C-alpha cells in the first residue's frame, strides 16, 4: 500500500472497509478510478472547535490488497449481521419475559406455558403461587403444604429446585 497524492481522475465507491467511531471518526473505504486502479481512502473527521473538518488520505492498492480489504469488509459485515441477530434474539427473550409476566404487578412466569407464578420482589426468599392468591414460601412450604398435583406441577416446571431439595435430604 503506497500513499499517493492523486487518484488520477474521478473515483467511484466500491465498498466500505471499516469505521472507527469516537471523538474523531475514521472511515476506510475502497474506491476505483476510471482507469481501473484501486485506492484505499482513509477519511478522518475531527473536531475543530465546535465544528468538524476532515482529511482524506489516498493509498494505491494492488489486486492482492484489494482482495484482502474485500475479505475484511465481508467479515466485518458478517460480524455486524451476527451481532444484529444476537441483539434481536435478546430483544425477543426480553419480550418473552414481559409476556410471561402477564402484565401483573406482583407475579411472573418463567415460561409462558408454566403454571407456577413467582412473586416479584419477594425480598426474603422465593415465593410462588398456582392461582396468584395463595402464596407459598419455597423454603418453608415445599413440599409439605402442596397438594400432590401441585407438587407434581412444581417439580416438572422447576427441576433445579427439585435437585436442590434432593441434595438437602439426609
> What is the reported pTM?
0.48
Cell of residue 127, nine digits? 415465593
pLDDT of residue 96: 67
**Average of per-residue pLDDT across 105-120:** 85
Tens of pLDDT, residue by residue over 9-29, are: 899 998 888 777 777 788 889
The residue behind cell 439426609 is 170
Mean predicted lDDT score pLDDT of the chain: 85
Query: CB–CB of 59/37 below 8 Å?
Result: no
Q: Could you give the angle at the alpha carbon of 8 between the alpha carbons of 6 and 12, nearest 5°?
A: 100
β-pairing, 11-20 vs 25-33, is: antiparallel
pLDDT of residue 16: 85
- Helix, coil or strand: residue 7: coil
* pLDDT band of 101, cuts 50, 70, 90: low
How far is Cα 148 from Cα 85, in angstroms, rounded to an integer? 43
* pLDDT band of 152, cuts 50, 70, 90: very high
Check whether 39 has a pLDDT greater than 70: yes
Check whether 140 has a pLDDT greater than 80: yes
Tens of pLDDT, residue by residue over 67-76, are: 998 998 899 8
Amino acid at each position: 500500500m503506497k500513499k499517493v497524492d492523486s487518484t488520477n481522475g474521478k473515483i467511484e465507491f466500491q465498498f466500505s472497509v471499516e469505521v472507527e467511531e469516537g471523538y474523531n471518526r475514521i472511515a476506510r473505504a475502497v474506491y476505483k478510478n476510471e482507469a481501473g486502479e484501486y485506492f484505499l481512502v482513509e477519511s478522518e473527521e475531527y473536531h475543530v472547535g465546535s465544528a468538524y473538518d476532515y482529511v482524506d488520505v489516498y493509498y494505491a492498492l494492488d489486486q492482492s490488497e484489494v482482495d484482502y480489504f474485500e475479505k475484511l469488509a465481508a467479515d466485518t459485515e458478517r460480524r455486524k449481521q451476527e451481532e444484529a441477530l444476537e441483539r434481536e434474539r435478546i430483544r425477543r427473550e426480553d419480550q418473552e419475559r414481559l409476556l410471561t409476566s402477564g402484565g401483573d404487578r406482583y407475579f411472573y412466569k418463567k415460561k409462558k406455558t408454566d403454571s407456577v407464578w413467582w412473586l416479584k420482589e419477594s425480598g426474603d426468599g422465593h415465593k410462588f403461587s398456582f392461582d396468584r392468591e395463595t402464596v407459598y414460601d419455597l423454603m418453608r412450604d415445599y413440599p409439605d403444604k402442596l397438594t400432590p398435583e401441585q407438587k407434581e406441577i412444581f417439580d416438572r416446571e422447576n427441576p433445579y429446585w427439585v435437585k436442590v431439595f434432593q441434595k438437602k435430604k439426609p
